[in-house]
Every structure is written in C-alpha cells, then in structure tokens.
Structure 1
Amino acid sequence: MHALNKNRPLRRVLLASATTVSGIVLLLALKPHTGPTVVTDSVAPAPSSSASAAPEASSGTGGSTKSSGGSTKSTGGSTKSAGSKTVTGDTVQTRWGPVQVRITVKNGKITDVTALQYPSDNPRDQEINSYALPQLRSEALSAQSASIDTVSGATYTSQGYQQSLQSALDSAGL
C-alpha cells in the first residue's frame, strides 16, 4: 500500500509538515556569503626629521577616512622619489585574514606589486599563498590594473588583493 494513500490524509499532513520544518531548519543553518571588508588604518605616517631628504615627500593622508556604501576606507600612504612613487593600499579584512599590497609606479606604469599582509596563520594558508601571491602579482603587472583573475583555491585572498590593489591605484591617481 502506498504511504500517501488517500484513505490516510493525516499521513500526508504529517509528511508535508516534517518536510517543511526540515527545509526551514536547513535554510536557517545556511550561512550567508559575506565579501571582504576594508580595515582602516588610523595612524598617519611620521614626518621626515631630516632636511636633506627633500626628494622624498609623504603625499598620503593616513588619517583621513571616507564612507561609501557602508564601508570605511582610508587612503594608503605613498612616497615619491625621482619619478617613482610607492603607494600602500588599504588593508582588506577577508574571511581568513588581512590582505594589503604596496605598488611602485614609475612614469604612470606599475613596476612592482608587493603583498605586505596576507593570511599565513596556518600551514594551509602558507601553502595556498605560496602559489597564489606570485600569480596575482604577475597578473597585476601584466594587466596594469586591479582587473585580474581570481586564483582558484585562493578566492578570498584574491578578492582582498584586488581591493587593496585598487585602493593603491586610486591613491596613486591611476
């Protein structure tokens, strides 16, 4: 005899109720995806005490913040010397830890990208970032922008890298 027999409507009601409750429990247990958030730096760069360091000038405003879309951003510090400028991007807090990059710009082109902060708390983080960071660096140098591909297996680090890189490019005026 079939479990959903028309002669036994109570079974159908119980089965439908149990299915509904199970579905609601599964939906409530599902964790929503959250994107990386930007962490602000409230420390301004220290001024140079030497008068002979005239070619270097700090053009970053580390203490200023701006709010857009609910996230708080701070402009990264930058240093300019003989046509070359070094700019540090915002620290982006990802699910696995902070990500921050520094770029060097010469004659309007990115000549170097360095990851200053990245997740490295456990051996798995170190393994992932040992292959992901060089790949992200080479893509950023070849693309000359933050429009780079996400590295498979390092999605959160890639997204944080892209956001920090974009903030550094914005601070550099590129």
Structure 2
Amino acid sequence: MHPLKKNRPLRRIVLASAVTASGLVMLLALKPHTTPEIAVAPAPAPSSSSTATAGSGGSSSSSGSSGSSGSTTTGTKTVTGDTVQTRWGPVQVKITVKNGKITDVTAVQYPSDNPRDQEINSNALPQLRSEALAAQSASIDTVSGATYTSDGYRQSLQSALDSAGL
C-alpha cells in the first residue's frame, strides 16, 4: 500500500474535528433573538386596564369599581396593578377586594406570543392565582419553569395590593 494513503484517515479526523470545533464556536456565539415588544408594551396597558374596570380609571394603578375608594374594610373594589416588564413580555394583575379580603385575582397581561409562552402560562397562572388567594398577599412561591412570569406577577400583585390599601 502506498505510504500516503495511511495518512488520509488521520487527515480526515483532524479536518472533521476542526470543522466540528468551528461549528460549535459559531453556535455558542449566537445571541438569542429579542423582540421589540418591550418598547411597544406600555401602549396596551391603559386600554386593558380601562376595559377591565368599570367606571373611572385613566391610571392603571388606582382604578376602582366601587364608589368608596378610601375604605378598605367594606364594599367591593377592583384594582389593576402596574404593568411589569419581564424578559418575555409584560405581566399585569387585576384583583377584586371585598371586605378587606382578596376574592379574585386575574392576569390581565402575560406573555403569550408563542406556543411555548402559552404552554408555560396555562400551567403557571392558575397556580399563581391560587397561591395569591390562599396567602392573601404577594408572598407567593415562584412556579418552576415560569420564573420571569412569577416575578412579574408578584410585583404587579404587590402594586395592586398597595393601591387597594392592603
């Protein structure tokens, strides 16, 4: 056998290793795609908070459906929390308070741009809602796999609680 043919398998191995290493470096150098939604997100907040509550409310942090906004121990009122920008999109929570207790928590805005967001939040939002109703505060646990949504939910919930005077 010719002596140069013995070196070909080694040359192929070296070439394949170099191509694999180059491909891996290029793959790791890719940056994740960020959507321009963060710049656009504040615009929908007023429209969702004004449609979510009846009556007055240009501000998303202090709109109520009861006439008495100073009293927190009697009556029913609905308060929408601030819109919190997360890595994957805005999160906003609306609470209903009756006689000083949280009776309902609803996510007004949450990331739902792609099927993965929808899958994550269809599992996370009911858990966060039940935790908030049980705790009667914003001291709720983070849902595994939905860390950013959980953090935004907690911050918006705290803002709504502060606006409601709880």
Equivalent position to 2:127, from 129, 135, 138: 135
Task: Kindly report the root-mean-square deviation, in angstroms, between the aligned alpha carbons of the 2 structures.
Answer: 2.8
Q: Percent identity?
A: 76
Moved over 6 A (4+): none
Aligned to 1:99: 91
| Selected match of 1:80 from 63, 66, 69 | 66
2:144 aligns to what? Answer: 152
Amino acid at match of 2:89: G
Amino acid at match of 2:136: Q
CA contact 1:76–1:167 (8 Å) conserved in 2: no
Mark the runs of 5 or more structure 2 residues left unpaired by the alignment: 1-30, 32-41, 68-73
* Residue 61 (structure 1) shift: 6.2
Find 2:103's aligned residue among 108, 111, 127.
111
Higher strand share: 1
CA contact (8 A) 2:61 2:79 kept: no
The 1:42–1:119 alpha-carbon spacing in structure 2 relative to 1, beyond 3 Å, is: closer
Cα 1:137–1:45 change in 2 (3 A) is: closer
Matching residue's letter, 1:93: Q
Contact 2:46 2:58 in 1 (8 A): no
Q: Which structure 1 residue ranges, 5 or more long, are not aligned?
A: 1-28, 30-38, 47-55, 63-73
- Residue aligning to 1:171: 163
**Larger % of helix: which?**
2
Question: How far did residue 77 of structure 1 move?
Answer: 2.1
> In 1, distance between residues paired with 2:128 and 2:46?
27
Q: Is the 8 A contact 1:104 1:113 kept in 2?
A: yes
CA distance in 2 between counterparts of 1:75 and 1:85 reads: 13
Tell me which moved more, 98-107 or 77-86: 77-86
Aligned pair partner of 2:117 in 125, 147, 161: 125
- Whether the 8 Å CA contact 1:76–1:90 is kept in 2: the answer is no
| Structure-2-length-normalised TM-score | 0.62
Name the counterpart of 1:4. none
